Every structure is written in C-alpha cells, then in structure tokens.
Amino acid sequence: MVEAVASLDLFCNVVDNYGDIGVCWRLARQLADEHGVAVRLWVDDMKSFARICDGIDPAAESQQAQPVTVRRWHAGMALPAPAEVADVVIEAFGCRLPDALIAAMAARQVPPVWINLEYLSAEDWVEGCHRLPSPHPMLPLTKHFFFPGFTENTGGLLRERDLDARRTAFEANAESMRSSLAELGVSPEPDETLISLFCYPHAPVVPLLDALRDDAARSLLLVPEGVASDAIRAWAGALPERGVPLRFGNLRLQTIPFTDQPGYDRLLWSCALNFVRGEDSVLRAQWAQRPLVWHIYPQEEGAHLVKLDAFLARYCAGMPADLAATVKSAWHAWNGDGDWRAAWPAYRKALPALRAHASAWSAGLAAHGDLAGKLLGFAAQVRTRHKA
C-alpha cells in the first residue's frame, strides 16, 4: 500500500527577491488546496513575501495564509521536535536546513522524505539527475534531488488544475479584462499594443524605450513600481506617477502597482507581449499563452546563457527557421548578447505567429504533468519504502 503524504515542511531562502518565494508560495498553496496536505512554509524574507501575498505580516512568527501555515525562518526560531517533523521536508533551491532540524528528522520514528527542490532548467542533464539519492554521511537520512523540467522524465512544472479554465473565462469576458486593468489605473487607447515589463536592473531598458518610442505602431508599456526605476528615470526625466502615463512618440509609459500573484496572472493575460524575469514569472508567461521575452537570472562566466540556449532549443523546436532566428536574436539581445534595437522590428512583426506558437507550446507542457502532483507521487513511493 502506498503511503500518502499528510504533512509537509517547505523551507525557502529568498535569493531573487520574488522568484524563490513566488515558486514556493505557489507550490505550498497548490499542495494544500488541491491535495489536502498540511503545509508549513518557512520563509527568511517575509518582506518580499508580503509584496506578492496580501495579508502577510512580515513580523509575525507564525500566521495562516489561506490554507498554509507560514513560519518566519530566523536563527532563534522554534523548530519542530522529532514527532512534529512533517512527512516530507523540502529545502527549496539548495537552501541549508538548520542542523537541529536535520537531527530531529533523523530522530523521527519513520524518517521524513527529504527533498532538495532544484531550480528549473531545460538542460539535457536534468533528466539524469532527477530523483537521484544523496545519503547523509552520518545520519540515517537520504536526500533526493527533484528537478522541475520541460520533459516527461523530469518533475514537471507548477500549474494549478483550474489555471486554463480561469484564463479562458477571463479572455472570453471583455469586461473582466477592462476592470482588471482599471484596478491598476490602466485605460488602453485604441490600437495600442499592451506590453508588461518585469526585468532585472541590467536589462537594456533604454534601447527598449527608444525602440517603442520610434516604432510605427503604438504601444502602452506597463511597469510595476520598483522595476527598472533608474533606467526609466534617466530616460524619461522622471518616473511616471501611478495612473498617469507619459507619452513619448508612439510609446505611452505607465507605472502600475506591484500586484499579488493572481493579479499578475491577469496582467499577463491582458498583454500582447510580456517581458519576464527569473523562474516564476517566465513560467506564468508560458501558461498565459502570450509571446514573451525572458530575462534570465545572471550567473558568473555567462553560465545563464547556456541555460537560455537550452530553453530556446526546446521552445523554438518546430518553428520555421526565420521565426526561430528572430526569437533567439531578440532573447539574446535582451540578455546582453546583441543589439536590442536592431532585433525589435522583426520581433514586433512576429508577434501574431508567436501568439499561435505560445498556445501549442503551453498545451505540450501541460501533457507532462504538474510539479505538485509528481512531487507527491514520488514522496509517497519513498515513504512506502521507509515503512516496508
């Protein structure tokens, strides 16, 4: 008999301000909502968490956020005793668990399933490392590496069961889109292309603004507060006030509030093109079935460009050669490897073809299963072996 998972501890060390906690919060909520797991989410940067989840108190030691128990992770916190350790303990993205917790895990009558949830990558080697065990050198514990990914032989991708239904209902109701944008203070003008911008500070934002200003077509660029502020201020002379767009040629530039996760999904669904960054927003942009440009998290010696190319190889497979070349040129330019202004005209022209591709791509990814379900299935198998 397979041993079901009843409880789970998920530890999140926030490195990228919103990507790490964004992934962990989505995973924790889905495990609780869809699978009935009692989840404790331990977070070391509650301020970042509060930006994407309404109602979070950054100073509280323990609080309920929807069905999830949220604990503040710090040096003096109270850790679970052996009997209180959950069935599954996840260290997200290689964060180091407290030694006292590892000792409590080892003292548990039946050891928990210990999982290192890795970063998302499209590289080929991921399949060979997915689910590999790593025995503790001194304690009777084994950690397993669990890799999200884009193929059947990986851990899948975060995706709620009702996500497509919610997006389809939103798109079918023009009033939903209008009111969602109005909540952000946005009133598009006729024939404007809506574009959202979420990027790291070193993105080529000035060439983007130049290109949109001088473009033959009209655009409304929506930028969450705090994103690309220095570049926008230097280019425009001032940051746009919330709800008051600035006009430059064929570009209207508008600052919008930093939204929670459901609000960000609606923003992605409303735009014709989404510039996204890191791991969480790039995945949501793919589920949004819209053209996108990814600003990948930078790494030393250009290691991030290897990851970018691995994703592009999968994303562009089956595209006409000229369309694939357009995508690769634009994405490389946005990541500092090329001329963005030179790449933009072809990318703008390709948006209708990329919209059709985005729908087919999303459907293909969904066929491989979702991260929460595959993770729980694996954990149940390990628990069964522990009890045998």
The conformation of residue 277, written as its DSSP 8-state character, comes to E
Q: Assess whether pLDDT exceeds 60 at residue 18.
A: yes
pLDDT of residue 16: 67
Average pLDDT over residues 10-26: 87
Give me the active site residues, please: 20, 279
Q: Assess whether pLDDT exceeds 80 at residue 204.
A: yes
Average pLDDT over residues 341-354: 97
CA–CA distance, 9 with 283 (Å, rounded to integer): 24
Average pLDDT over residues 362-374: 94
* Angle CA 281–287–289, to nearest 5: 110
The model's pLDDT over 205-264, given as tens digits with 9 standing for 90+, comes to 999 999 999 999 999 999 999 999 999 999 999 999 888 999 999 999 999 999 999 999
CA–CA distance, 141 with 114 (Å, rounded to integer): 8
Q: Which amino acid is at 360?
A: A
CA–CA distance, 276 with 376 (Å, rounded to integer): 29
Q: Which amino acid is at 163?
A: L
pLDDT band at 388 (very low <50, low <70, confident <90, very high): low
pLDDT of residue 130: 97
- Confirm if 109 and 29 have CB atoms less than 8 A apart: no
Q: How many CA atoms does the CB half-sphere of 281 hold within 13 Å? A: 28
Q: How deeply is 234 buried, as exposed, middle or buried, from its count of CB atoms within 10 A (0-12, 13-18, 19+)?
A: exposed
Q: Assess whether pLDDT exceeds 70 at residue 1.
A: no
- Confirm if 171 and 178 have CB atoms less than 8 A apart: no
CA–CA distance, 49 with 57 (Å, rounded to integer): 9
The model's pLDDT over 92-135, given as tens digits with 9 standing for 90+, comes to 998 999 999 999 999 999 999 999 999 999 999 999 999 999 99
Question: Which residue's structure tokens are 């790593």?
Answer: 134
Largest CA distance in the chain: 70
Q: Assess whether pLDDT exceeds 90 at residue 38.
A: yes
The conformation of residue 301, written as its DSSP 8-state character, comes to G
Q: Find the range with the poorest average confidence among 13-22, 241-250, 283-292.
A: 13-22
CA–CA distance, 198 with 295 (Å, rounded to integer): 8
Closest CA to 28 of 261, 297, 350: 261
CA–CA distance, 297 with 305 (Å, rounded to integer): 10
Q: How deeply is 260 buried, as exposed, middle or buried, from its count of CB atoms within 10 A (0-12, 13-18, 19+)?
A: middle
Q: Assess whether pLDDT exceeds 70 at residue 363.
A: yes
Cross-strand partners of 38? 7
CB atoms within 10 A of CB 175: 7
CA–CA distance, 112 with 89 (Å, rounded to integer): 7
CB atoms within 10 A of CB 1: 5
Q: How many CA atoms does the CB half-sphere of 43 hold within 13 Å? A: 35
pLDDT of residue 144: 97
The conformation of residue 370, written as its DSSP 8-state character, comes to B
Dihedral (Cα; 333, 250, 182, 255), 10-degree rounding? 50
- Confirm if 62 and 33 have CB atoms less than 8 A apart: no
Beta strand residue intervals within 245-365, DSSP E: 246-248, 251-256, 273-277, 292-295
pLDDT of residue 47: 92
Q: Find the range with the poorest average confidence among 11-25, 35-49, 139-153, 370-384.
A: 11-25
pLDDT band at 54 (very low <50, low <70, confident <90, very high): confident
- Confirm if 146 and 372 have CB atoms less than 8 A apart: no
Q: Assess whether pLDDT exceeds 70 at residue 60.
A: yes
The conformation of residue 302, written as its DSSP 8-state character, comes to G
pLDDT of residue 17: 63
